[in-house]
Amino acid sequence: MTDTETPERPALAYHHTPGTGPTVVFLCGYGSDMQGTKALHLEAWAKASGRAFLRFDYAGCGQSEGSFEDETLATWRDDALRMIDMLEGPVVLVGSSMGGWVMLLAARERPDRVAGLVGIAAAPDFTDWGFTMDQKMALLQHGRFEKPSDYSGQPTVTTRAFWASGEANRMMVRAIEFDGPVRLLQGQKDKEVPWQRAGVLAELFRSDAVQTVLVKDGDHRLSRDEDLALLVRALEDVIALCSLPSS
């Protein structure tokens, strides 16, 4: 399916599985698309369990319209908000890598809609800690840089506009005002996101219903069978807590 309700923005490709709520919305990582292992595994789980689920491609990614280098963290946040606003009822956001940053931004913008969060190697604020000084200088001088990707035959491109948008939307500089259940899954052999950041992020949530799960031999993707099983358990745990009556 394609979202065409926002003519000033590129149309977004998405797949929606109807079912019981809250709707689970999968948020991809930087340069990824909705055809990834985790998104498809959760879709299969949703169909088998009768759970509402949505996966989509940010503008400029996968099957969505637009140019990748024209987009920023803020525009991809707005894409996530478009998807949330298209749905009915509460949602649980599952954010992978950069999707974990988008997840936090979307939860801040839609506090009445987002009921729970699951982060997979969540990477909020990576424009602050994920770039070397040489890379930052290349962005300032040339407006973009490329680096080899471990997950694709094509290099990963970062633009100055994306970096500036990330710096303007950092989340780990203050308390995160979210009161729902949160699960953070983090591999300790992750070469992209230092595993210690998961604990720091957990401490920032106002909610007490936060758990960090460290996978000692887990990498950044956390896409092995045992990782996917852990992801489903974490998601089911969050959904169950979302269903509890408020005290």
- Active site residues per annotation: 97, 190, 220
Burial of 208 (0-12, 13-18, 19+ CB in 10 A): exposed
84/110 Cα distance (integer angstroms): 9
Which amino acid is present at 9? R
Whether the CB-CB separation of 222 and 194 falls below 8 Å is answered with no
DSSP string for residues in 125-156? THHHHSS-HHHHHHHHHHSEEEE--SS-SSPE
Place of tokens 């099983």: 229
Q: What are phi and psi of 54, to 5 degrees?
A: -140, 130
* Strands annotated E in the chain: 2-3, 12-17, 20-27, 51-56, 91-96, 114-120, 144-147, 156-159, 182-187, 210-215
